Structure 1
Amino acid sequence: MNKRTFLKLSAAILGGAPGGPLFGKAPDAPSSSGQLTNWAGNFRYSTNNLHQATSVEQIQKFVKEHDSLKTLGTRHCFNDIADSSHAFISLKPMSQVIALDPQARTVTVEAGVNYGQLCPTLHEKGFALHNLASLPHISIAGACATATHGSGVKLGNLATAVSALELVTANGDILNLSRERDGDTFLGAVVNLGALGVVTKVTLAIEPTFMMRQDVYEDMPLAQLADNFEKIVASGDSVSLFTDWQNKRISEVWVKRRVEKGDTSKAKPEFFGATLATKNLHPIAELSAENCTEQMGVPGPWYERMPHFRMGFTPSSGKELQSEYFVARKDAVEAILAIERLRDMVSPHLFISELRTVDEDRLWMSPCYQRPSLTIHFTWKQDWDSVRKLLPIIEKELAPYEVRPHWGKLFALDPAQLQSRYEKLTEFKELVKKHDPRGKFRNAFLARNLYG
């Protein structure tokens, strides 16, 4: 991370962020300092020049009139991936479900739609998405552009549901791409990191709606995870493991699985040495589970179980930082044990870590490209100076596993190393050059990490 980015992050932390529960929604207005910030308040954007768009025609006009700009979504990224020093365009007002095609099993939405807005409508129509992330408040376009994910050994990240895209490119033209028609170009454009243009519409694959239940277990010995990793992560459709890396244990295991209507089966009281929880829990055990999705094996619609946090509950900004690293699933146990050896360095600065699996995909810039993955997530206390020093140590421990960081979270990986982990990077940059030859959508993050 360069000096300018570090100073901005540090200044934000020293200035403080609005207090409130962990995990929330992006701010809709500048902070008390008068600057636009991200959701957590740790990053201050380089300009307040923010314009709202209500139509594709407005977007085209705005793009033509500006030599440099970025799209600003729900601001759930913790780094400068969406930053601009010139101008932002927001598509938040463009939040309509455009079309639902039951025969093709697709839904097309405007780019301002978030998952919390779409999912209840889909369910009412008898359909579902294949997976969801922890938070439902993130925009669909932004989540797919950064390969944000849920969990499941057989479930790809959220971008793998994309079957078509509409973008406004640097010259103001409309570019339509589809999985069926555009082959490699489509595979390169889905996880686009904001580099190709302004995404205006997204078409997602859907499936028949389903019910799920969620059971939580406490205090799994780390030795059980080391000996039975594949069995544990495959025990549900979606499995999350939470740990503070202390006491050689996984503090909570969240098992989400599909159920048929009328299923009244009871969860087993013991799960690989862990015991069934007797009440709803927050991933951070000391916090209230009020804003968490229903547990205790109570069946409910898919969109009320797959996220960790309730769609109807939008707390204020959360004072936290986040990092996340992807390694191949075949290296999962070794990578977990490598981080566990750092426990006394990591834990004092940590709220919680989450371990999840994500299936492989063919999307060029996805961290899961051709690699079934384990993700190691860190929710840090908002102490950037300490976290900044820890990230290179963590990345060094994970280096043997060719670690790939989450594009929207904090990392310190050397750009040359990062670039070497993406075998389709050259083709991606050629695709970007074709549609944005003068770098209208390139910012400091892209310049540093893809071109540095």
Structure 2
Amino acid sequence: MRPDAATVNWARNLTYSSSDVVHPRTPGELQALAARGGRVKGLGSRHSFGDVADTTGTHVSLDAFDDGRPPVEVDAATGVVSIAAGRRYGDVTRSVQAAGRALANLASLPHISVAGSVATATHGSGDDVGSLASAVVGLELVTGDGEVRALRRGDPDFPGAVVALGALGVVTRLELETVPTFDVRQDLHVGLSWDAITAHLDEITGSAYSVSLFTDWGPDGAQQVWRKSRLAPGAAGEAPPADFFGARLASTPLHMLDGVDPAHCTPQLGEAGPWNERLAHFRLEFTPSNGAELQTEYLVPRANVLDAIEALRPLGPRIGPLLQVSEIRTVATDREPLWLSPFDGPTVALHFTWSPLPDDVGQLLPHLESALAPLGARPHWGKLSHAVTDRAALRAVAARYPRFDDFRALAERYDPAGRFRGGFVERLLSL
């Protein structure tokens, strides 16, 4: 195992507390590390903005891990894809597409690891499209006694082990459902008013397979609407309307940040192509930014989204000076209850990409959460929130998960010594 020095997260707003980072190459090396004692924590693509993946012990990166099986393998009979957990979605999707299959959903970035994305309930967008974790049908992990455990959908522990924040062990492999391959065309509209959004939100988000509204929370509504339509392979699809609830069709490619070159974004203007090159917002071959940002996200029950929008709009003058862009998108109910997933019903995600101003953002977050908490909002586990630093806010978040006590009992059973805790996870499980 090759050790590295302790490192920082992708956004460079957090220096990890770990003493080193190791890269086990074989199951035996990982099992020996897990069994020897001391704190251990899996480390993925480091795209969490809080300390959910932190540890005072040893970080484990699976970028060199080889369990003797293909890193990505699609079962032709079932369509299930088995994936080495350290792989990035962008790399996985190429193999899945080559097999004539597709994942139903992708997050905005294809650069993030499969295991870390699933463990934090990361998601994409679509009224009828579930989170990345909802596709999981099986997983393997190494626990603190050095043993390998395999869980599949239907096992009693499975609903607690999928979105688990790394608290049960180091996940080494995941199995995901796939669907037959499909194409996607992406059409953009600009200038969607708040009046149109509040009057027609269901029609807007239901107008395509995946819809994202980008706003600065100013008086003008959504500056851009990105609509990704699902097509049969090779189909061109219908031309988008010139007028979309008052928004006009974009005539040139756009980045969601005003004035930024859209070269890093996936193809737009109705250029249809494979799902793995369209569902994400950004191309795998480019790094969309250098991490010079912070992110926050709140998951709100769909029934409360119009109230949430009305609660946030008065805060627009305080949000705007700190904001790069905010995104509104929908997420479907999980296929089955996952104890720490916020998607136990139809949900709307309110995402904020901030300028790298941690003190100013930290002062604003309690006001955002105070406005949204009465509406059942739950912060994304891997992004910044007031609950990351405030115990009372964290206790309120935990209370919004009906199976939280069951998850804590599961974590204590899998990891009685608390070796996979640290940072945010330790604070959460010690409530």
2:407 aligned with 1:434: no
| Aligned residue number for residue 411 of structure 1 | 385
> Which of the numbers 212, 227, 244 marks the counterpart of 1:255?
227
Q: Aligned partners of 1:35 and 1:186: how far apart in 2?
A: 32
Deviates more, 1:241-250 or 1:197-206: 241-250
> Which of the numbers 77, 93, 99 marks the counterpart of 1:103?
77
Deviates more, 1:63-72 or 1:128-137: 63-72
Query: What fraction of aligned residue pairs are identical, expressed as a percent?
Result: 42
> Which of the numbers 158, 174, 185 marks the counterpart of 2:157?
185
| Aligned residue number for residue 91 of structure 2 | 117
2:258 aligned with 1:285: yes
Task: List per-residue Cα deviations over 1:42-95 (Å, max 9, x = no partner).
Answer: 111113411001122111011111321111111000000011112111101137
Task: List per-residue Cα deviations over 1:184-206 (Å, max 9, x = no partner).
Answer: 41111000110000001100101
Q: Aligned partners of 2:328 and 2:404: how far apart in 1?
A: 27
After superposition, residues 233-272 of structure 1 pair within 5 angstroms as 233-260=205-232, 261-263=234-236, 265-272=238-245
Contact 2:72 2:84 in 1 (8 A): yes
Give the TM-score normalised by the residue count of structure 1. Answer: 0.90
Letter in 2 for 1:272: F
Q: Aligned partners of 1:177 and 1:262: how far apart in 2?
A: 39
| Aligned residue number for residue 365 of structure 1 | 340
Letter in 1 for 2:341: S
- The DSSP-based 3-state class of the residue aligned with 2:296 is strand
- The DSSP-based 3-state class of the residue aligned with 1:109 is strand
Contact 1:47 1:84 in 2 (8 A): yes
- The DSSP-based 3-state class of the residue aligned with 1:257 is strand
Q: CA deviation at 1:35?
A: 5.2
Contact 2:89 2:113 in 1 (8 A): yes
Contact 1:415 1:450 in 2 (8 A): no
Q: CA deviation at 1:316?
A: 5.6
Letter in 2 for 1:432: A
- The DSSP-based 3-state class of the residue aligned with 2:166 is coil
Letter in 2 for 1:56: P
Task: List per-residue Cα deviations over 1:125-157 (Å, max 9, x = no partner).
Answer: 100001000000000011000000000111110
Contact 1:36 1:48 in 2 (8 A): no
Q: Aligned partners of 2:429 and 2:212: how far apart in 1?
A: 31
> Which of the numbers 276, 281, 287 marks the counterpart of 1:303?
276
After superposition, residues 39-50 of structure 1 pair within 5 angstroms as 39-50=10-21
After superposition, residues 81-96 of structure 1 pair within 5 angstroms as 81-94=52-65, 96=70
| Aligned residue number for residue 313 of structure 1 | 286
Q: CA deviation at 1:286?
A: 1.4
Task: List per-residue Cα deviations over 1:230-285 (Å, max 9, x = no partner).
Answer: 11111111000000011331000000011232325321111111000001110112
Give the TM-score normalised by the residue count of structure 2. Answer: 0.94
Q: Aligned partners of 2:382 and 2:410: how far apart in 1?
A: 21
Count of aligned residue pairs for this structure pair: 419
Q: CA deviation at 1:315?
A: 5.0
After superposition, residues 3-402 of structure 1 pair within 5 angstroms as 36-94=7-65, 96-180=70-154, 182=155, 184-260=156-232, 261-263=234-236, 265-315=238-288, 317-361=290-334, 362-368=337-343, 370-402=344-376
- The DSSP-based 3-state class of the residue aligned with 1:133 is coil
Q: Which runs of 5+ in 1 are unaligned?
A: 1-28
Q: Aligned partners of 2:138 and 2:246: how far apart in 1?
A: 45
Letter in 2 for 1:323: T
Contact 1:241 1:250 in 2 (8 A): yes
Runs of 4 or more above 4 Å deviation: none
Q: Aligned partners of 1:62 and 1:384: how far apart in 2?
A: 35
Q: CA deviation at 1:175?
A: 0.6
**Per the alignment, do residues 239 and 316 of structure 1 end up closer, same or farther by CA in structure 2, a change over 3 Å counting?**
closer
| Aligned residue number for residue 430 of structure 2 | 451
Contact 2:295 2:353 in 1 (8 A): yes
Contact 2:135 2:176 in 1 (8 A): yes
- The DSSP-based 3-state class of the residue aligned with 2:157 is helix
- The DSSP-based 3-state class of the residue aligned with 1:153 is coil
- The DSSP-based 3-state class of the residue aligned with 1:258 is strand
| Aligned residue number for residue 403 of structure 2 | 424
Q: Aligned partners of 2:72 and 2:364: how far apart in 1?
A: 45
Q: Aligned partners of 1:112 and 1:167: how far apart in 2?
A: 12
- The DSSP-based 3-state class of the residue aligned with 1:341 is helix
Task: List per-residue Cα deviations over 1:392-425 (Å, max 9, x = no partner).
Answer: 0000000111210000000013122011101101
Letter in 2 for 1:105: G
Q: Aligned partners of 2:99 and 2:301: how far apart in 1?
A: 37
Deviates more, 1:94-103 or 1:188-197: 94-103
Q: Aligned partners of 1:347 and 1:450: how far apart in 2?
A: 34
Letter in 1 for 2:99: K
| Aligned residue number for residue 10 of structure 1 | none
Letter in 1 for 2:181: T
Task: List per-residue Cα deviations over 1:95-134 (Å, max 9, x = no partner).
Answer: 7525311211101011111111111111111000010000
**Per the alignment, do residues 217 and 41 of structure 1 end up closer, same or farther by CA in structure 2, a change over 3 Å counting?**
same
Say what the alpha-carbon RMSD is for the aligned residues.
1.6
Contact 1:100 1:106 in 2 (8 A): yes
Q: Which runs of 5+ in 2 are unaligned?
A: 388-392
Q: Aligned partners of 1:294 and 1:444: how far apart in 2?
A: 39
Contact 1:357 1:375 in 2 (8 A): yes
Contact 2:282 2:288 in 1 (8 A): no
